[in-house]
């Protein structure tokens, strides 16, 4: 882990705390103005400070995180959780969960495979979002 005086790029930090799967995805999100601090979009080279609130405007919801620690290398999920605190409201997270269930075409156990009509409905839903 790094000390507070060290400088960590936001794209590295987002990747290290497992908000994004790859550093390239984190950098692209910054370039596309999906990452902001205090309502100001940031570049991938922005230096992260402890206590800052980072907002990620995803496709369906906005998620917010507070920087608890500075790490630049990817670590286990348990250690990563010590360096970030998610402050997204539970209602927003429920929206994301519902959207996921709609996309997977959730079917109760024992219903069997989706029919052709069911598959068309699922495809329409996917195009809608």
Q: 72 and 26, same structural domain? A: yes
Q: 125 and 75, same structural domain? A: no
Q: 95 and 80, same structural domain? A: no
Per-residue exposure over 3-29, b if at least 16 CB sit within 10 Å of its own CB, e if not: eeeeebbbbbbbbbbbbbeebeebbeb
Q: 118 and 62, same structural domain? A: no
User: How many domains would you assign to the chain?
Assistant: 2
- Report pLDDT digits (tens) over 45-58: 999 999 999 999 98
For 121, the domain range is 89-129
Q: 38 and 20, same structural domain? A: yes
- Report pLDDT digits (tens) over 90-117: 888 888 777 766 666 566 677 778 789 8
Q: 96 and 73, same structural domain? A: no
């Amino acid at each position: 882990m790094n000390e507070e005086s060290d400088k960590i790029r936001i794209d590295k930090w987002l990747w290290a705390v497992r908000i994004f799967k790859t550093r390239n995805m984190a950098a692209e999100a910054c370039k596309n103005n999906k990452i902001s601090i205090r309502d100001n979009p940031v570049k991938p080279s922005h230096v992260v400070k402890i206590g800052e609130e980072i907002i990620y405007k995803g496709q369906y919801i906005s998620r917010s995180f507070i920087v608890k620690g500075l790490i630049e290398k990817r670590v286990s999920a348990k250690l990563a959780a010590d360096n970030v605190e998610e402050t997204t409201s539970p209602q927003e997270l429920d929206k994301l969960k519902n959207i996921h269930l709609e996309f997977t075409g959730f079917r109760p156990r024992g219903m069997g495979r989706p029919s052709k009509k069911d598959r068309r409905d699922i495809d329409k839903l996917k195009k809608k979002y």
